[in-house]
Structure 1
Amino acid sequence: MHLTDQARTVARLAELVSIETPSGHTDGLLRGYALLREWGGPIFGRPPEIVTVQGTPHLRWRPEREPGVLLLGHADTVWPLGTGAGWPFEVDGGRASGPGVFDMKAGLVAAFDALELARDIAHVGLLVTGDEEIGSPTSRALIEEAATGATAVLVLEPSLGGALKTARKGGAFYTLDIAGRAAHAGLEPGRGINAMLELAHQTLALDRLGDAAKGTTVTPTVASAGTTTNTVPAAASLRVDVRAWERAELERVHRRIGELSAVVPGASISVSGEINRLPLERESSRALLTLARRIAGREGLGELTEAGVGGASDGNFTAALGIPTLDGLGPDGDGAHARHEWAELSSLAVRSALVARLLDALADPLALQ
């Protein structure tokens, strides 16, 4: 098993985590991309493209030879600017912690280590986006364009306890805007139309749209209503997160949300939103998982397990195009989106070696047949 130098890997991870990159934050993302350019320029032999869409930059190296393999990841994190001041990068007992270390800056470091270990990368493209954590609104078309014609997509999102992610739920996101009528809550509350009360009815109705047996969740997540304590709320809004293993379930919930009607007399509801990502179904990962397991056995990289997860990724987009997609190739760790986020440093070298050998095997366009 050929491994990269861990000291350099840790130094790279520390430097990348120290650059704060909230979703869509141009300055931070460009600073992060400048670092990735330093790492990748000598490997690819050319600088990357910076593709800016609606103000959000994304980094891309195209393959020199088609059909190619796409390495896919994101540089943005859920952490707001300033988080690093109170929570800097740290290594303790073989674990690295810090904002975005697990999701997914360790995966980016592993990707560049893998590119160095691979024998030939003329067939490899790399795309790093800047808005995955908010649903990829500006990068989706770029992801789909970069993946079109590829023989495989390898996603360096973090693993789940070491398991590759061979299935992901699809997701949809909605906003309900509710209109009522204001009135003085003490003098004449009956003249008002309480938008907050309507919000409560809709919250309960949405909760009933889930189907636990099928793994379909409909979760009201953010709500707002009202202006002052003594005023009947004239407006309210509610945001909703929907997840499902099956496309049919996403479509069912989408249809039912569109059919919601007001309960409070005089109130009205406006619904916006759509299905964001279709599910990543296990069949999309089957051939790549078989190949990865064969490589892991040959190279002494340990047993590869698999898991289905509720969170979506950009791999959902590529799988929906019918392109073989293997997700969760990033390092082991835990705590994505939480203050206890950490990455297991020893797993970076193992994942880099696995991805490198996958790239070698996939240089043959018929490797998955």
Structure 2
Amino acid sequence: MTPLDELTARTEDMVRDTLDLCLVESPSHDLGRLAEAVEQAAELGTRLLGRTPQLIEEQGRPALYWEPARGGVLLLGHLDTVWPVGTLARWPKPLRTSTTISCPGVFDMKAGIVHGLYAMAALGAPPGCGMLLTTDEEIGSPTSRPLIEKTAGRAAAVLVLEASADGALKSGRKGVSQYAVRISGRAVHAGLEPEKGVNALMELTAQVGAVAAFGSGGLTVTPTLATAGTTANTVPAEACFHVDARATTRAEQDVLHTRMTALSPVLPGARVTVEGGPNRPPMESDQAAHLLDLARATARHLALGSIRAVHVGGASDGNFTAGIGIPTLDGLGAVGAYAHAEGEYAVIAELPRRAALVAGLIARLLPPAG
């Protein structure tokens, strides 16, 4: 029996465990629900691996860590989702069909966590392979970033169990920068003496145009949320807009940050303050090249078909691990569609195939036993 055959024989077990994990709703800001999801994942991993994970808490936020031997392989995932509690009750039924599992968080990314654990189990839970599961990825990993970087720093490679819409692996991700541009003016009556005011909304309009023009090539700079004013008959004294920027390289990200922090007012008397900066560094494609070659060789050996690689604008915790120089390959999680959208699903037939790919890749990365 090949590893793929063995994992295919456990498909129904993977489906059951994925559904069980998804039935525990775990939005990023609900620490109580996240604790339940962590407990469920810990029980599953302990059963499959025969190893009890470390429960790590920072600022009341839990994470699970099956520690690999130094220089080993770290699988990386997150248990939090974007879905509020109560979403499951209104989700279309059945949650499972003959071909798919559809429920909140299954694609992003609980199915990937499950088949990652099964991949480790298929190898006999080698001490050289471990897993870190965090609970704040969907809100930018403000608490878990130091933990991610610390644990990844002990590893020779990181395999990220984020989902893939069509099975393609993610060899590169853009870096993310987020800014709030706050503008102060002077309020006066809009009908009596508007010329004596400093219109923060007019200043915002000028700044939005300037900031949007910073984007070029692979760098996207997108003004998003904006607010201004207090009443309809008052020259607005305050305004603010937010900016989402995605950069292909760290140099591109650094140049943008310099330009953003140098913004200056256009209108006399206006003040401009810029808050924020880089949130995640880019995951640049060259650092994933060797892992991608190994994944393709593994897929050929297992007759899984060809493996495509893509560079995407969305970020993950893999940006952090790549950013500290650890070889990182992303997109090894579930195959399906509709991340963060109604009807998200994972393809059942791909669960054992992805588990086999992850297991084969781990085996190639770990030194021979003995």
Report sequence identity in percent.
50
Q: Which residue of 2 aligns with 1:146?
A: 151
Which has the higher mean CA deviation after the structures are superposed, 169-178 or 82-91?
Answer: 82-91
For 2:334 and 2:226, how far apart are their aligned partners in 1? 35
Q: Give the C-alpha shift of residue 266 in structure 1.
A: 1.5
Q: How does 1:102-181 map to 2 (within 5 A)?
A: 102-181=107-186
For 1:24 and 1:52, how far apart are their aligned partners in 2? 15
Other structure's SS at 1:266 match: coil
Letter in 2 for 1:111: G
Match of 2:313 among 310, 313, 320: 310
Which has the higher mean CA deviation after the structures are superposed, 2-11 or 303-312?
Answer: 2-11
Q: Give the C-alpha shift of residue 35 in structure 1.
A: 0.6
For 2:150 and 2:312, how far apart are their aligned partners in 1? 25
For 2:190 and 2:356, how far apart are their aligned partners in 1? 66
Q: Give the C-alpha shift of residue 93 in structure 1.
A: 5.1
The root-mean-square deviation of aligned C-alpha atoms, in Å, is 1.9
Q: How does 1:1-369 map to 2 (within 5 A)?
A: 1=4, 2-4=6-8, 5-63=10-68, 65-87=69-91, 90-92=95-97, 94-211=99-216, 214-364=217-367
Q: Give the C-alpha shift of residue 279 in structure 1.
A: 1.4
Q: Give the C-alpha shift of residue 45 in structure 1.
A: 3.1
Letter in 2 for 1:84: L
For 2:209 and 2:368, how far apart are their aligned partners in 1? 51
Q: How many residue pairs align between the two structures?
A: 363
For 2:204 and 2:59, how far apart are their aligned partners in 1? 32
**Cα distance change of structure 1 residues 120 and 58 upon mapping to structure 2, 3 Å threshold:** closer
For 1:263 and 1:22, how far apart are their aligned partners in 2? 42
Other structure's SS at 1:350 match: helix
Letter in 1 for 2:149: E
Does structure 2 retain, via aligned residues, the 8 Å contact 1:333–1:342? Answer: yes
Other structure's SS at 1:275 match: strand
For 1:278 and 1:121, how far apart are their aligned partners in 2? 31
Q: Give the C-alpha shift of residue 44 in structure 1.
A: 3.8
Q: Give the C-alpha shift of residue 327 in structure 1.
A: 0.6
**Cα distance change of structure 1 residues 197 and 57 upon mapping to structure 2, 3 Å threshold:** farther
For 2:202 and 2:248, how far apart are their aligned partners in 1? 32
For 1:127 and 1:88, how far apart are their aligned partners in 2? 31
Q: Give the C-alpha shift of residue 120 in structure 1.
A: 4.0
Letter in 2 for 1:165: K
Letter in 1 for 2:136: D
Q: Give the C-alpha shift of residue 227 in structure 1.
A: 2.2
Does structure 2 retain, via aligned residues, the 8 Å contact 1:216–1:243? Answer: yes
Letter in 1 for 2:160: V
TM value normalised by structure 1: 0.93
Other structure's SS at 1:157 match: coil
